[in-house]
Amino acid sequence: MTLLYLGLLSALICLLGAILYTDTKHFLISTTALRLRAQAKPVIERWFATGPGLPAPLAPPSPPSPGLPPAPPSESRQPSSGPVEQLTEDTAVSLSQALTSRDTTALVIDNQGHILATGRRLPEEPPAAPPDPQRINRALAGENEITYIDIANGQRTLVVLIPLRRTPTDPRILGVVQLNTPLATIDQILWRQRLLIGAGIIVAVLLGALGGLWITGSALAPLKRMIATCKRIAAGDLSQRVNLPRHYDEVGQLAAAFDDMVAHLEKAFAAQRRFVAAAAHELRTPLTAIKGSLEVLLRGSLDDKAAATKLIQGMYREVTRLNRLAEQLLSLTRLDTPVLIHKEKVNLAQFLNTVVQEAKLMAQERVITLNPGYPIVLEADPDSLKQVFYNLIDNAIRHTREGGKIEIGWGKKHASVEIWVADDGEGIPPTDLPHIFEPFYRGDRSRSRRRGGAGLGLSLAKGIVEAHGGTISVESSLGKGTCFRIRLPISDPERG
Amino acid sequence: MRLEHSQSSSKIGARILIIEDESTIAELLRTGLTYEGFRVSVVSGGEEGLECADKEDFDLVILDLMLPDIDGFEICRRLRLRGNDIPIIMLTARREIPDRIKGLNMGADDYVTKPFSFEELVARIRAVLRRRGSAAEPTQLSAADITLDLEAHEAYKGGKPLELTPTEFALLELFLRHPRRVFTRETLLNRIWGLDYEGDRNVVDVHISNLRRKLGDRERRLIRTIYGIGYSFRPD
C-alpha cells in the first residue's frame, strides 16, 4: 500500500520534472532564436535600404583588429551606394559582417546554395555549422521559421535560417542568411536545471516516503491496535478494549463502536455465566440431598422401615423440585425462540376465570378473588399466559399467611390492558425489589428453600409478558402486601 | 422449632447439633448419623442453633453456611467469641478456596462441600472428635475380651494380637461399634465393600467365616448368624 503510493508519487514528480525541463529547454532555445531573428531583422532591412556601407549596429563594435581592417574594400567602395538589388559577393560580405558579433556568426548563402560570405573574422567569434542543403532549399522556397540545432566544430550550435527578401512581401528570395550561435550557455543553464530537478526529485521522493510512512503509520496505528485487541479478545479475554482517545474520524468512531460492542458482549457473557452458575447451584442442592439419602439408605437405614420411608419421601420432594426446575429452565430458553408463542384470540374474563378456578385448588387456605373489568379480547398464547398467572399466584401464596387475600383484576388503559395480581402478604423489602425478576434471585426473606421455588418463576413471567410485547412491574410495601401489574397491548381496540 | 433428639442404641454416642435449613438434607443427616451411633439434634435456623449450642452440651456442630437468618460464618464467629470451642464442621455448596479459608479462619475444624459423601462426612466427624480428644470418640473399642486400637489399627483377643486383613478389621470395627445390631448381607456389602461393589455376594459369608476362625468363635456365639437376615455381634 505504502509502496504503491510511493511509486505513484515518484512517477508524478518525475513527470513534472520532465515537463518543467523540456519546457525550459524549449523556452530558452526559442527565445534565443527569436532574439537572433529580432536583432537580424533591422540590420537586413537597413542593408537592403542603404547598402552595405553602414557600420553594423547590431553588436557593440568589435575591437579593431590589427590584422584585418573591418571590411575595408566594400565599405570604402560603396560608401554611398544605393539600395541593394543584387546579391553579390561584396554585398554578401558586408551583410555577413554586419550580422556577426561575439556570440553570433552569420553565413550568407546565395539562391544556388553556395556560401557567398562568412562573417567570422575573429577567433573568439563562434564557428558556423556547415549549411544543410535540404533546409537551405526549404528556406529558399520561402519557409521563414527554420531553426535547428547542429554541431559546429564540436560545439552544439543553434542555427537560424532567414530568407533574404527586399520587402517582407517580396516573393523573390535573393538568398539565405544562416545565423549560428553556440548553445554552451544555454546548455550550462539546462545542465544546472537537470541537476536541480534531479536533486529535487530525490529529495521530494525521500520526503514523500518519510511523510507517507508517517501519515499511513499514524493512520494505521489505531487499526493495528484494534487488531491486537481483537486477537486478545479472541483468546478469551472480553475485558479488553481498544480505548482510543475519542477522535471524530472514522477509525476513532469504529474503535468506539467496537468497544461498545465488546462491552455489551462482556455483559451478556457475564450474565450467561451467572445464570449457568446459579442453575448449577440450584441443581446441586437437591442432588446432594438425593445422593446423601441414597447413601444413608444403602449403609443400613433401609432396614429401619420408618426412617427409610422418611428419606424416600425427601428424595421424592427433591426429584419433584428438580423436575420443576428443568421445566422452568426449558421454558426460559424457549422464550428466546418467538416461534414457540402461538397467539390466538383470548377472552380475558373467561381466561382469568379459569385461571382463578384452578388456582383455588392450590390456594392452601388463601382467599383468591377475581375482580372483573370491561370485557376485553387479547391476542396471546393462552398456555404461556396461564404460566405467568400461575407463577404470580404461586408467589403470592408463598408470601402470604393462611387466610391471606389474593386479588386478580384488570382495567383498560389506552390501547393496552392492565392486569394486576395483588396480595396482602409480607411484602418485598425495597432492596430486593429491583432484583426480583432476575433468574434465581431470592431475597433474604425467601432465601430458605422451604418456601419452595428456585427463583425462576418471576423471571419466567417477565420473559413471557415481554414476548407478548407487554411489560410487568411490581410495587410492594413491607408488611402490607405486593401488587404485580402486567400491561399487554390490545389487538383490536374496537372490540375491547 | 422444637429440638428433636434421637437416642441411638449406643450409650456413649457423641451428641451432634445439626444446623441446616434444607429439610431433606437435615433429615438424611439425622437418620444417617443416628444409625452410625451418634445422638443427633436438628435445628433449621441460626438463632436457634446458637441458643442450643449455648444451652446444651454438644460434642460437635455441623453447620450449613446458607441459612435464612444468620449466615454460618457469623454463627461460627459468635460461638468462638463467646468462648465456646465446640468442634464445628461446616457444610456448604460454596466450594471456592477463599470460602474454605474463611471458614477455617473463623474457627471451623473442618469444611465439607456439597455434594458430599456421607461416608466421608462420618469419617471427618470421627476424625475431628478424636483430634479434639473427645471422650465420645474413643481411640479404642472393646467388647468381651476383644480390643481394637483404631489408631494403631491393631486387634487383640485376650491380650494376644490378632492377624486381621483390612476387610476383617473393618467388619470387626463395625460389629464392636454396634453390638447386638443385626446387619443384612447387603448392608455389610455396602458399608465394607462400597456402594459400587458388583462382585460375588458370598464374599460376606467367606470373610465372616474367616473372622470367626481367627476369633476362635467355633460355636458362632460372638458373631451370630440370624437366619434369613444376616449377622449380629453378641459380646454378652
Give the model's pLDDT for residue A65.
Answer: 46
Question: Tens digit of pLDDT for each residue in B55-81?
Answer: 888 999 999 988 878 888 889 988 888
Query: For B109, phi and psi rounded to 5 degrees?
Result: -90, -30
pLDDT at residue B9 is higher than 50: no
Q: Which of B27, B187, B196 to mutate to test the interface with A (most CBs of A within 10 A)?
A: B27
d(CA A39, CA A41): 6
- Cell matching residue A472: 410487568
Q: Is A311 touching B (CB cutoff 8 A)?
A: yes
Are A450 and B187 a contacting pair at CB < 8 A? Answer: no
Query: Using 50, 70 and 90 to split pLDDT, how confident is the model at A483?
Result: very high
Cα A1 off chain centre by = 15
Q: What is the DSSP string of A278-299?
A: HHHHHHHHHHHHHHHHHHHHHT
Which CATH homologous superfamily contains domain B15-131? Answer: Response regulator (3.40.50.2300)
The set of long-range contacts for A113-122, using a CB threshold of 8 Å and a minimum separation of 24, is A113/A137, A113/A140, A116/A87, A116/A88, A116/A89, A116/A92, A116/A175, A117/A89, A117/A92, A117/A93, A121/A62, A121/A65, A121/A68, A121/A70, A121/A97, A122/A62, A122/A65
Neighbours of A181 (CB within 10 A): 23
Task: Give A363's contacts (C-beta < 8 A, 6+ positions apart).
Answer: A397, A406
d(CA B236, CA B233): 9
Contact of A190 with A25, CB cutoff 8 Å: yes
- Cell matching residue A175: 538568398
Q: Is A440 touching B (CB cutoff 8 A)?
A: no
Question: Tens digit of pLDDT for each residue in A128-185?
Answer: 888 888 888 888 888 888 888 888 888 888 899 888 888 777 788 888 888 888 888 8
- Cell matching residue A393: 399466584
pLDDT at residue A247 is higher than 90: no
Question: Tens digit of pLDDT for each residue in A370-387?
Answer: 888 888 888 888 888 888
Give the model's pLDDT for residue A443.
Answer: 63
At residue B30, the 3 state secondary structure works out as helix
Contact of B119 with B128, CB cutoff 8 Å: no
Shortest distance, CA B103 to any CA of chain A (angstroms): 19
Query: Using 50, 70 and 90 to split pLDDT, how confident is the model at A52?
Result: low
Residue type at A386 in one-letter notation: K
Query: Using 50, 70 and 90 to split pLDDT, how confident is the model at A337?
Result: low
Query: Using 50, 70 and 90 to split pLDDT, how confident is the model at A472?
Result: very high
Q: Measure CB to CB from residue B31 to each of A291, A296, A317 and give the nearest one.
A: A296
d(CA A356, CA A371): 11
Give the model's pLDDT for residue B199.
Answer: 83
Query: Using 50, 70 and 90 to split pLDDT, how confident is the model at B232?
Result: very high
pLDDT at residue B85 is higher than 90: no
The dihedral region occupied by A249, where left means phi > 0, alpha psi between -120 and 50, and beta the remainder, is beta
Query: Using 50, 70 and 90 to split pLDDT, how confident is the model at B200?
Result: confident
Q: Which of B8, B28, B196 to mutate to test the interface with A (most CBs of A within 10 A)?
A: B28
Shortest distance, CA B31 to any CA of chain A (angstroms): 6
Give the model's pLDDT for residue A62.
Answer: 45
Within 224-263 of A, beta carbons closer than 8 Å to B belong to none
Question: Tens digit of pLDDT for each residue in B120-136?
Answer: 999 999 999 988 877 77
pLDDT at residue A447 is higher than 70: no
Give the model's pLDDT for residue B138.
Answer: 78
Give the model's pLDDT for residue B4.
Answer: 42
**Average per-residue pLDDT for chain B:** 85
Are A314 and B24 a contacting pair at CB < 8 A? Answer: yes
Contact of B32 with B62, CB cutoff 8 Å: no
Residue type at A5 in one-letter notation: Y
- Go through the domains of chain A in sequence order and give each one's CATH number: 2-191 (3.30.450.20), 260-334 (1.10.287.130), 338-489 (3.30.565.10)
Contact of A285 with B28, CB cutoff 8 Å: no
Give the model's pLDDT for residue A58.
Answer: 47
The ipTM (two decimal places) reads 0.83
**Average per-residue pLDDT for chain A:** 82
Nearest to B45 by CA among B91, B110, B1, B107: B1
Are B24 and A310 a contacting pair at CB < 8 A? Answer: no
Give the model's pLDDT for residue A67.
Answer: 44
Please name the residue of chain A whose CA is at the shortest distance from the CA of residue B28: A293
B23-35 helix and A250-298 helix, angle to the nearest 10 degrees: 40
Are A292 and B184 a contacting pair at CB < 8 A? Answer: no
d(CA B77, CA B107): 7
Task: Give B83's contacts (C-beta < 8 A, 6+ positions apart).
Answer: none
Query: Using 50, 70 and 90 to split pLDDT, how confident is the model at A80?
Result: very low
- Cell matching residue A206: 525521500
Give the model's pLDDT for residue B207.
Answer: 92
Which residues of chain B are in CATH 3.40.50.2300 domains? 15-131
Q: In CATH terms, is domain B140-233 a member of 3.40.50.150?
A: no
Shortest distance, CA A331 to any CA of chain B (angstroms): 26
Cα A274 off chain centre by = 39
- The stretch A103-129 carries a mean pLDDT of 84
For residue B119, the surrounding DSSP H or E stretch is: helix B118-131
Which residues of chain B are in CATH 1.10.10.10 domains? 140-233
- The stretch B35-50 carries a mean pLDDT of 90
Q: Is A281 touching B (CB cutoff 8 A)?
A: yes
pLDDT at residue B146 is higher than 80: yes
